[in-house]
């Protein structure tokens, strides 16, 4: 099982495997053709309330991780979709934010790596 993250604004690559957009909102300035998505899994993204509370504030990072992981544990249907694709090979979780460390895709990657 290999799960990785990548900004959707980066060029798609062969090593990406199955490409999944894990943001609830469509990224600005990216056409569906350029995105080369295999799946847009909106339901795996943090709830709108959690996303708005976090507002990409690194000072809230630890609490965001904790709250988002709780949401993930309660979201088995969306996790099952990702696990099914992970069983077949590499999955790249795509996100739009410019912060490559403090983002929901990183939490999701770590969660999947740790808990499968």
pTM of the model: 0.93
Each residue of 41-75: pLDDT tens digit?
Answer: 999 999 999 999 999 999 999 999 999 999 999 99
- Domain range summary for the chain, segments of one domain joined by +: 3-115
**Cα separation, 45 vs 105, whole angstroms:** 8
Please return the burial class of 80, using the count of CB atoms within 10 Å of its CB with bins 0-12, 13-18 and 19+.
exposed
Residue-wise pLDDT for 27-49, tens only, equals 999 998 999 999 999 999 999 99
């Amino acid at each position: 099982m290999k799960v990785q993250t990548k900004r959707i604004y980066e060029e798609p690559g062969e090593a990406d495997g199955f490409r999944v957009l894990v943001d609830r909102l469509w990224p600005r300035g990216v056409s569906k053709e350029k995105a080369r998505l295999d799946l847009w899994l909106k339901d795996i993204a943090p709830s709108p309330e959690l996303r708005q509370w976090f507002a990409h504030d690194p000072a809230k990072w630890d609490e965001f991780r904790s709250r988002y992981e709780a949401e993930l544990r309660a979201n088995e249907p969306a996790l099952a979709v990702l696990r099914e694709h992970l069983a077949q090979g590499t999955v790249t979780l795509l996100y739009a934010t410019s912060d490559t460390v403090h983002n929901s895709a990183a939490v999701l990657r770590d969660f999947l790596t740790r808990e499968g």
